[in-house]
Amino acid sequence: MAAKRRATELPTGAPELDTSNHAHIIPLGAGSEVGRSCIIFKYQDKTVMFDCGIHPAFKGMDSLPLLDEIDIDTVDVALITHFHLDHCAAVPYLLRKTRFKGRIFMTHPTKAIYYSLLRDLAKGARHSSEEALFNEEDLDASMERIEVVDFYQTIEVAGMQITPYRAGHVIGAAMFLVEVAGLRCLYTGDYSRLPDRHLPAADIPPVTPHIVIVESTYGTSRHLPTQQREQLLLDTIRTALHRGGRVLMPVVALGRAQELLLLLDEHWEAHKSELGGIPIYQASSMMSKALTVYQTYVESLNDDIKRVFHDRNPFKFRHVQTLKNPAHFIQDYSGPCVIMATPSGLQSGASRDFFEAWCEDARNACIICDFAVQGTLAKEILGGPRDITTRQGRRVPLRIAVHNISFSAHADFDQTSGFLDAVRPPHVVLVHGEYGEMRKLAKALKDGAKAIGCAREVYTPVLQQTVAIAHTPDRTVRLQGRLGEKPPREGGAVRGVLVKQGGGFTQQLLHADDLPRFTKLLRGAVTQRQAVAVSGPFSRIRLALEVMFEGVDGEALLPVTAAPGAEATKGGEVHSLLVGDTVRLSYVPGDDGGGVEAHVVLEWEGGRQGDMVADAVVAVVLQTVGEPPAAASAESAMLRARAEGDEAAAAAAELHLIAALLRSQFGPATVDEAEGVVRLTVDGVGATVDHRAGKVACGEAGLRGRIEKSLDRLAAAIRPVPVSRRQE
């Protein structure tokens, strides 16, 4: 079912729309910014959190997503796309220091690297004066709660179906497709549609999402073709080395670092005579630890790297060394070299140390290979300043050559537009991009969709701004067992027991007898019983029931057989009726000697229909017990005359009984014994009833029909009651 073409962007603080008719997307982070990705998706009272990271340009609590802006305990599940800090580093805080009660999922590689990365972060926080978001105990506790999921494995959580697909970007990175009541929402996280040396490209999901929440990091920019940018990088490095300079490449420890190390190691091996004496260093212990993860999860890599693994481990580099003491190296080494260090934004750590030590030497080069986030030193130096401020507050001249050669595994404009043209969602929500670039991208995507005749709405929310998208829920029911053996007629009704197992929206409709076969349910029945004290003969109760209900069957049982739940009487007679094939009514006459009052016992199978009929029977019995004496007297006279064989007297009594019963239903009624009829007046309209002939004379057709219906029931009810005898 397609999503309806109506949506709005609600400003912060606006009243929410009904979530039964609208999906809500709310950025708690990455709304018109790059960093602290955390996107809330709500639909049909289900809530998903996509990612929970920190902002690289902020510190402490300021780096967190705006988690206080929602009821965090209503989030059913958190889905973490990959291990980069801006997507996962707030997870320990979420799990240990908020009211989050839901489940949380990552892929296997993501969980493995998440722990290593965040353990280093927690250790560093112990020796820092900055406010720590979590400690090692919090991290260990988070590992207990994190569940893993494989690519293409569909899981059901809180009534939602969730399937991860490959996202490229880094090892283990996933896009998540979430389906709720027929609405499909795809969150890409960071993704890349270009395969590289070690990773496959992001998948195209096999179904069409109604909503795609997609990163917009590079906006309308385009990456250089792979071969061209690789050659530009190698030429830039060689130029700096030939002039005796040192090359700093600030990178994220996992992902682009391994891609660039593969490239450099391959190039050095091919040019050993020229470059063999110039060292390549990785100044991050995390880069070394990551290599074991790549070896463990080799199946997550692309086919090219898998083939290389047959001959050798490509991550055991031939020309790359691990630099264990950057401080000593900075002080003691002065020759040309290439160093990869973290973090990529030059905010702190080894990359900042190297940059401040080398930035005044014009022979050196700094190559920004990843996306430079607003507010970081990496972004600042790309603007071409003449000097910078060190962490000690000194202003120093900036003479180092600064280059921006993007090897970022984020989708550029061509990849994003091509991806959306392939999956064709009617609604696109842009996140993880800077304000201006997001809006330029939104316009370009709308224009592109119009050019190919594709209906597409594009939204660019800021932090806390709700995007509300209308959609009609769609649920499917699977016919199982005997109900599934014969396909239902188009537009027909199917009756059965609706079973929903595992909290999902996938439901089965089963015949009650099939419950043990397809479920763990057993069919049972609850028998209800109720006793009502009565006075007068049972024939009056039967007559009243036959007037009210069609399908009253019964017998008088001799000798005494006590009704279920009723005590046996001495010398009495137990009468039994079945009303509407639903309620069994048993009458037990009173026994003055034994102190037992006359009563009826109702017995029925509990349920909507049985309870309704039982309530009606009780009402009739209670009304009959208090019936006017005229009807009781006429009934007794009729039965006595029949017993004596006086047909004339019985006919006269019967006429008076008919009049009494019609009077109780329609109002004033008189007996005309000479004509053998009953005359009625209802709301000023007269009617003459000849019950023997079964005729009603009345000028008002509606009233005539009502009287005729009642007359038919009365005529049947006052016939002699059949009595069957059953031997003991």
pLDDT score of 593 more than 80: no
Closest by CA position to 627, among listed 713, 545, 693: 545
pLDDT score of 18 more than 60: no
Amino acid at 330: I
Closest by CA position to 114, among listed 83, 146, 90, 136: 83
Is residue 284 domain-resident? Answer: yes
Amino acid at 297: Y
Q: Residue 694 to residues 381, 659, 675: CA-CA distances in angstroms?
A: 105, 14, 14
Compute the distance between CA of residue 245 and CA of residue 336 in angstroms, rounded to an integer. Answer: 5
Do residues 54 and 133 both lie within one domain? yes
Considering only 421-425, 564-568, 670-674, which range has the smallest mean pLDDT?
Answer: 564-568
Do residues 269 and 330 both lie within one domain? yes
Do residues 455 and 486 both lie within one domain? no
Do residues 504 and 583 both lie within one domain? no
Is residue 185 domain-resident? Answer: yes
Compute the distance between CA of residue 718 and CA of residue 728 in angstroms, rounded to an integer. Answer: 30
| Residue 16: count of CB within 10 angstroms of its CB | 12
Is residue 2 domain-resident? Answer: no
DSSP assignment of 383-397, as one string?
A: T--SEEE-TTS-EEE
How many distinct structural domains can be found in the chain? 5
Please state whether the predicted TM-score (pTM) of the whole model is above 0.75: no
Domain that holds residue 539: 527-625
Do residues 204 and 96 both lie within one domain? yes
Which residues, in sequence order, are CB contacts of 329 under 8 Å at separation 6+?
Answer: 281, 283, 323
* DSSP, res 591: B
Do residues 307 and 377 both lie within one domain? yes
Do residues 431 and 368 both lie within one domain? no
Do residues 33 and 158 both lie within one domain? yes
pLDDT for position 595: 57
Instruction: Read off the CATH number of the domain in which 531 is found.
Output: 3.30.310
Instruction: Read off the CATH number of the domain in which 434 is found.
Output: 3.60.15.10
Percent of the chain at pLDDT above 90?
44
pLDDT score of 558 more than 60: no
SS3 per residue for 170-213: CCCCEEEEEEECCEEEEECCCCCCCCCCCCCCCCCCCCCCCEEE
- Is 691 labeled as catalytic in the residue annotation? no
Is residue 631 domain-resident? Answer: no
Is residue 204 domain-resident? Answer: yes
pLDDT in tens, 443-479: 999 999 999 888 899 999 999 999 999 998 876 778 8
Instruction: Read off the CATH number of the domain in which 317 is found.
Output: 3.40.50.10890
Domain boundary among 361, 388, 404: 404
Is residue 278 domain-resident? Answer: yes
Confidence of residue 506 (pLDDT cuts 50, 70, 90): low
Confidence of residue 596 (pLDDT cuts 50, 70, 90): low
Integer-rounded Cα Rg, in Å, for the chain is: 42
Do residues 272 and 415 both lie within one domain? no
Do residues 547 and 400 both lie within one domain? no
pLDDT score of 569 more than 50: no
Closest by CA position to 247, among listed 277, 279, 290: 279
Mean pLDDT of 44-67: 94
Helix (H, G, I), strand (E, B) or coil at 340: strand
Do residues 544 and 492 both lie within one domain? no
Is residue 639 domain-resident? Answer: no
Compute the distance between CA of residue 634 and CA of residue 637 in angstroms, rounded to an integer. Answer: 5
Confidence of residue 565 (pLDDT cuts 50, 70, 90): very low
Do residues 706 and 578 both lie within one domain? no
Dihedrals φ, ψ of 564, to 5°? Answer: -55, 130
**Residue of 403, 410, 511, 599 marked active site:** 410
pLDDT for position 720: 52
